[in-house]
Structure formats: C-alpha cells, structure tokens
Amino acid sequence: MFSRIAVALVLLAAVCAFPQQPPAETLRFAVSGDSRNCGDVVMPAIAKSANAHKVDFYWHLGDFRRFGMVTTDDDGLDEDMRQQYHGQLDPKDYHRDAWGDFLSHQVAPFGLTRVYLGIGNHEIYQASDEASSRVNFTSQFAYWLDAPDLHSQRLADYKNKPGAADALNAYFHWKKGGVDFIYLDNAGDVGFENDQLAWLRLVLDADRTDSQVKSIVVGMHRALPYSWSCGHSMNETEPARISGRKAYDWLVRWNQETRKNVYLLASHSHFLMQNIYDTPYWQNSVHGGVVLPGWLVGTAGAVRYLLPENLPSTILAKTHTYGYLLAEVSAEGKVKFEYQEMTESDVPEEVVARYGKDFIDQCFLSNRNLAPQVADRSCEEH
C-alpha cells in the first residue's frame, strides 16, 4: 500500500505531466457613438479609460463630426474645432479638414488599441449630396474599413463571388472571441438597402452553423424601429421602418432557432439607455413577442438631448452624460455591458491645455439641447 507521501508524489507527477492550460484572456471592448460638438474633449478621456481597462478594441457607432447646415445664426461647425481656430475657421475649410481632425484628436489617443469606425447620418452630410459623401467616407477611412481582419472576412464571405470582396462598404463584420461583431449601415433615410439585407442574410446563415460563433453583437447608428427612443430612430421614414422591422425579425428568428445570444447597440440619440426594445410594440405577440437586449450610447461628446417622456421605471436611462459601454465577453459568449461615465476630471491634461479650462467647463456644463423629443406617429403603433 502506498504511503501518503508516495500518493502525493504520484499526483504531483501527474499534474506535471499534464499541465493545466492557462485561462483564456477575457475579451473586453468599448463602444459609444456621436462624438461631434465636444468629441475632441470627450474622446481622449474615453480612450484613456478604455486603455486603462485593457480593451481589445473601441467601436465607434457613427457621427464623428457635425457637418451642420450653415445658416445666418449657425455656422454649422463643431464647437471644439471652432475653439481650436479661435473662431476663424471657414466652413469650406472645416468640411475639408473635419475628418482629419477626428482622426488626430479622437482616434489617435487610442494608440495601439484597435478602432472600428461605423458610419452615422452626419457622415453623409460631409459633401453636397449623400452619394459623394459616401464615396469620400470610404476613401477617407479605407485604412480602417479594409483592416486585415475585415478584409479577410470579406474574402471568406464572398469566396464564391470573385471580386466582390474588393468593394469597401460602410457595413462590415469581424469575428473575435466567439462573437461575430456586425456593423449595419442605416445612416441614410432608406434604412437597410436590399444589397445590405442580402449580405446580412448571408452572414446570419453562416453564423447559424458556425460552432465557433456563440453570440452576435450588432452595432448601428440609428436604433431599429419601435425602441424607447422611437422619435429619433429608424422610425423617422417609412422605408427605414420596413427594413428595420425585417432586420429585427431576422435577428429574433436567428436567436430563437440557434439559441445563441444577440445584442443590439446603437447611438444617434445623445443619451444612455438600456433595454431599449422592451416596448409594447416588440412585446406584442403579433410581432413575435421577443425582446432582444439593446442599448443606446450616443454619449461620446455630442450635444446632449432630453430623455423621451413617459419612460417606464424599468428602463435605465441617463442624459447630460458622457461615457461609453465597457463590455466583457464570457467563455460562453455572453456579453456583460457596464456604463463608464466620464467626468471633467477624466479629461487628459494636454487636452485641457489645448482648449482651455473655460471651454472644457462649457462642454461639461452646457452642450445641451433642451427641446423635447417629438415622436413620429408610427411610434404609436402596437
């Protein structure tokens, strides 16, 4: 009979012979959108915080710069750029330089952290028409839209269509840590065009049978229709409502048939809101009765909106805030989101020195639109 010491030695030898695998690194990412107006102040703070949390990437959900309409009362410029140039920035120069400013002051602070860039509605106001703006967008941000992981994924998606992978689109996806991250382009009033819907169907069909994909996280600029921010979403036009309903129905069906997780992220409305699709419309069994988890996080520097009226107490929402969602992916593919609020003390010193303390105060104490959110009539549909 072995002594206790002999047994211990045998067990130790077994452990040494079959060493335990180190635990897989936790996948973390950061996400927010709408960094116009004061984004050059807020985004460096977000980058500093996200890097301190050692995120794998930051995902921007669109509206990098304002590109507003110039009127007699409004020069249409971002306040942070106006401050940089001491009020001497010509609107023509602004339209030429605004995206470069975004890259220099909002993307560069992330350093080596990967950044994914999604298109928003203000990106399609950069030129005199939407088509020209989109061409300029894919040209300006080709480095990010054609990054190696996005390029290789396009090649895999279109392996049976030679040449199709060469075209850069504002919708894209990549896979990491058991999650397929999908960005949908609903910047325009038409919502999701037929080509994009066909692509989305292709992606969902592939993910359905991919054992490596345990969840999908779908990001976009405007929230899908009939959310708690219905007045500022895909409800704003009928084509967008129709295509948005179709996308939601497909995602519900995919979730129910695969039993895999689906998470929906959007910005466009400049506040934080959780459970945005837990509405009477989507609760109604006529529309499937399935509520997908969704967040709004348009909190990266844009002028801040009032919350919609009559929100139920079950909906976590906050306005007059800047920040981002910090997400952590479990080994099972479940994603936990936690809001990280940025305060004035989080702004890096070099940013304060560049813009001055008074302007930093203005961004945090002002930069608010107090007009109530007016809902489209379609929001009354149940």
Task: Tell me how far the alpha carbon of residue 309 is from its chain's centroid.
Answer: 24
Q: Which domains occur in the chain, in start order?
A: 28-380 (3.60.21.10)
Under 8 Å between Cβ of 190 and 224: no
Q: 3-state class of 26 per DSSP?
A: coil
More confident: 8 or 202:
202
371: pLDDT strictly greater than 90: no
Instruction: Order across the sheet with 114-117: list the strands.
Output: 114-117, 57-60, 27-32, 322-329, 335-342
Virtual torsion, Cα 236, 241, 244, 250, nearest 10 deg:
160
Q: 3-state class of 6 per DSSP?
A: helix
Task: Fill in the DSSP letter of residue 128.
Answer: S
Specify the pLDDT at position 20: 45
Mean predicted confidence (pLDDT) in 333-350: 97
Specify the pLDDT at position 291: 96
Mean predicted confidence (pLDDT) in 272-300: 94
Under 8 Å between Cβ of 326 and 55: yes
Task: Tell me how far the alpha carbon of residue 173 is from its chain's centroid.
Answer: 12
382: pLDDT strictly greater than 90: no
Mean predicted confidence (pLDDT) in 164-182: 94
User: What span, in angstroms and rounded, lies between the C-alpha atoms of 91 and 97?
Assistant: 10
Q: 3-state class of 180 per DSSP?
A: strand
Mean predicted confidence (pLDDT) in 39-55: 98
pLDDT band with cut points at 50, 70 and 90 for residue 287 = confident
pLDDT band with cut points at 50, 70 and 90 for residue 24 = low
Least confident of 33-37, 140-144, 194-198, 311-315: 311-315
315: pLDDT strictly greater than 60: yes
Q: What is the mean pLDDT of the chain?
A: 92
pLDDT band with cut points at 50, 70 and 90 for residue 11 = very low
Mean predicted confidence (pLDDT) in 15-20: 43
22: pLDDT strictly greater than 50: no
Mean predicted confidence (pLDDT) in 51-67: 98
Instruction: Report pLDDT digits (tens) over 65-101.
Output: 999 877 767 888 999 999 999 989 998 999 999 999 9
Give the percent of the chain with pLDDT over 70: 93
Under 8 Å between Cβ of 20 and 320: no
164: pLDDT strictly greater than 90: no
Specify the pLDDT at position 2: 43
Strands (E), 220-334: 261-266, 272-274, 294-297, 304-305, 317-318, 322-329
Mean predicted confidence (pLDDT) in 128-140: 96
pLDDT band with cut points at 50, 70 and 90 for residue 21 = very low
Nearest to 125, CA basis, from 75, 187, 61: 187
